[in-house]
Chain A
Amino acid sequence: MRRMSPIRRIAETARSHEEGVWQVAGRVAVLLPLAALVFAVSVLAVKAYPAIRVNGWGFLTGTKWTYGGGYALPVHTDGVAHPQGSSFGALTIITGTLQSSAIALIIAVPVSIGAAFALTERLPTWLSRPLGFAIEVLAGIPSVVIGLWGLLTLGPILSRDVYPIIGNHMPDVPVLDFFRGTPAATGQGLFTAGLVLGLMIIPIIASTTRDLFNQVPPLPKEGASALGMTEWEVANKITIPWVRSGIIGASVLGLGRALGETVAVALVSGSAIHFAPNIFGQMTTIAATILTQLDGAQTDGTGFAVATLAELALVLAVISVLVNLAAGVIIRRTSALVPSVGPT
């Protein structure tokens, strides 16, 4: 029998067991992100442990965030060294994170669905191709560039021409009075942060939604039109429910990006560690706080400031998990009602 080179033999074996090879490679690939997450979370947990012990539950409920006198001699609590007078309550930061991401989602989901609808159902191909390209362009612009644009160009214009219209004319009643207020001249604040975040997650949601709309078979839509449904009713009753779970899945991915986005938010949020008094007020998010404070935290020789930022990152991870679980519940409820295609 002809002798095969080892490589050739491996190749032959691989071909004859092709499905098995795919299975093994696929399993390894699926495990890698899990391993990466375990790696990141364990590095953080080790770093954060002293902070979790000292900060306690007050970390989630407190609103006072101060590094204390880093240049005074450190003090010890429960055997953990930390700067004198340091006190960390992250409720304002957590609130700012949720607020800005919520605004981003409220803006991005309808805009993404609308744009995807216009691209797939309304416009001729010669027009929808180049316009659809804009979605990918938006996704490709580095976040630091979008952040600088938000700070230097978009923010000042909104603050001068748009925000006063809202801020001065909203009725002074509960809930709506959150929209009353005077914006900063640079536009830095919750609204701009949410808007810029929204812009950054639109590509994620819109590109998936567009693909999903393309998968909806034409027959049900045509049938609905034949029954006299208007365009809106076809979209609302047929097309969107058909792909609802896919849209929710894409929205969750977008929400993840919004929760974790750093540079752009740090630039346009005003980075204030307190509750935004109104929608134009300055605030900050977990990711922006970590970005802006990590450098200074490293000057704290006790390591407590870095530990606290690691704890903050863990809180964000927990928020992400909760958001995911919630999305899973929503998807399960909706997909029980309608047939579904697309990623979940």
Chain B
Amino acid sequence: MRMPRVKRMAPACLLATSVALMFSAAFAGSAGASKSAVETPSGGTVSETGSTLLYPLFNLWSSGYSEKYPSVTIQTAGTGSGTGITDATEGTANIGASDAYLPPSDLETTPTLLNIPLAISAQLVTYNITGVTAHLKLTGKVISNIYQGKITNWNNSAISGLNPGVTLPSLPIVTLHRSDSSGDTFLFSSFLSDTDPNGWGKTVGFNTSLTFPNAPGALGEMGNSGMVAGCKATPGCIAYVGISYLTQALQSGLSYASLQNGDKQFVLPAAASIAAEAAAFTKKTPANGTISLIYGKAKGGYPIINYEYAIVNDKQSSSSTAKNIRSVLEWAVNSADGNNPTYLAQVNFQALPASVAAQSLKQIKNIK
């Protein structure tokens, strides 16, 4: 039941994996030689476009990397994941940043694309209920019913039943969703699909762009800041935002929920719970990085986390460009450099588990 997606897309995974294997076999010699070191770049510009969620971290990385390797300038632009993927495919940017791994259709049309896990992010489910500051306990099924318009008031027994001791007012629920297509919508709808496979999974599904069910008063907001601002203005709202917006959400008077994971525990998003969830998926992470980290069975794991990806074409225009890109990405996934908490903690991201970082490194070596 869990992770139905992986099964469904098995053929594509296999295809992509075998492609990746072919490449790693071909370049095995060079890949093994300098395993954890960061290559010295040949100098020039590396351009990155894409995910606005990864954008602030890439900016931090950009200055950190340039301190060590001043011969390279990293140019960043937050344009949205889809644009980042297109830019990487068309060669208009070197690195496309994406919150979601590539769908099989993308890998089918452009088999030379790599999706390289760079770091781990998580998602908050926030709400604005007058008089309630507690972390509400919510299950994916209840949230799914809220977003489908089946639960329309905060005092519904389905919610109060999960939260004994919390006085919930009679307040209509206003569901907020992203009007722009977004990796955040992908994660949130994946969580609802996994926790409510027969309801949400069948009728709505998961994607970066989604037509949300017509819940009463449902509102679309642009961007995570739009979600926070909209939720602040709307008592009774429920919204999903990236964990890097935690401070902004709290300052706007929002609270965030404790979500039920696959082990039936209610867990708050925090460094430990995100790491616990990530650990449960470490072994399952395929060589090409395409896996959803949603709703794992890990003890104490927070159920909505994800890898943030660099989408890179493994065939670059010149070997010096390829070398620069490799150097930047190797630096980014290195636990002493880009994957160090000094960078990640500023946006509440977590480091890649060691074995996943090693897999990423292997993929990076394939950029030629």
Known: A85-B205, A266-B222. A299 touches B81 (CB 8 A): yes
Within the complex, what minimum Cβ distance (angstroms) separates B203 from chain A? 10
The residue on B at minimum CB distance from A74 is B105
Q: Are A301 and B106 in contact (CB under 8 A)?
A: yes
Q: How far is the CA of A85 from the CA of B201 in the complex (A)?
A: 13
Q: How far is the CA of A135 from the CA of B259 in the complex (A)?
A: 51
Interface residues of A in 21-66 (CB under 8 A from B): 65-66
Which of these binds chain B: A124-132, A237-245, A267-275?
A267-275
Which of these binds chain A: B152-160, B177-185, B281-289, B328-336?
B177-185
Interface residues of B in 195-214 (CB under 8 A from A): 205-212, 214
Within the complex, what minimum Cβ distance (angstroms) separates A144 from chain B? 10
A69, CB-defined interface residue at 8 Å: yes
Interface residues of A in 287-344 (CB under 8 A from B): 288, 291-303, 305
Interface residues on A, range: 35 or more
B31, CB-defined interface residue at 8 Å: no
Q: Are A298 and B103 in contact (CB under 8 A)?
A: no
B235, CB-defined interface residue at 8 Å: yes
Within the complex, what minimum Cβ distance (angstroms) separates B366 from chain A? 20
Q: Are B230 and A186 in contact (CB under 8 A)?
A: yes
Q: Are B83 and A298 in contact (CB under 8 A)?
A: yes
Which of these binds chain A: B3-11, B137-145, B348-356?
B3-11
Partner of B234, one of A65, A184, A292, A302: A184
Q: How far is the CA of A20 from the CA of B86 in the complex (A)?
A: 47
Q: Are B8 and A67 in contact (CB under 8 A)?
A: no
Q: How far is the CA of A133 from the CA of B230 in the complex (A)?
A: 33
Q: How far is the CA of A151 from the CA of B223 in the complex (A)?
A: 13
A175, CB-defined interface residue at 8 Å: no
Q: Are B83 and A295 in contact (CB under 8 A)?
A: yes
Q: Are A293 and B209 in contact (CB under 8 A)?
A: yes
A-binding residues in B (CB < 8 A)? 5, 8-9, 11-12, 79-83, 85-86, 98, 100, 102-110, 174, 179-182, 185, 205-212, 214, 217-222, 226, 229-230, 233-235
Q: What would 28 A/B residue contacts be, using CB atoms closer than 8 Å?
A: A67-B211, A68-B207, A69-B207, A70-B105, A71-B207, A72-B9, A74-B108, A151-B226, A151-B229, A185-B235, A186-B233, A267-B222, A270-B220, A271-B220, A272-B218, A284-B179, A293-B180, A295-B80, A296-B80, A296-B185, A297-B209, A299-B98, A299-B102, A299-B103, A299-B208, A301-B107, A303-B109, A305-B209
B-binding residues in A (CB < 8 A)? 65-74, 81, 83, 85, 151-152, 156, 182, 184-186, 188, 266-267, 269-274, 282, 284, 288, 291-303, 305
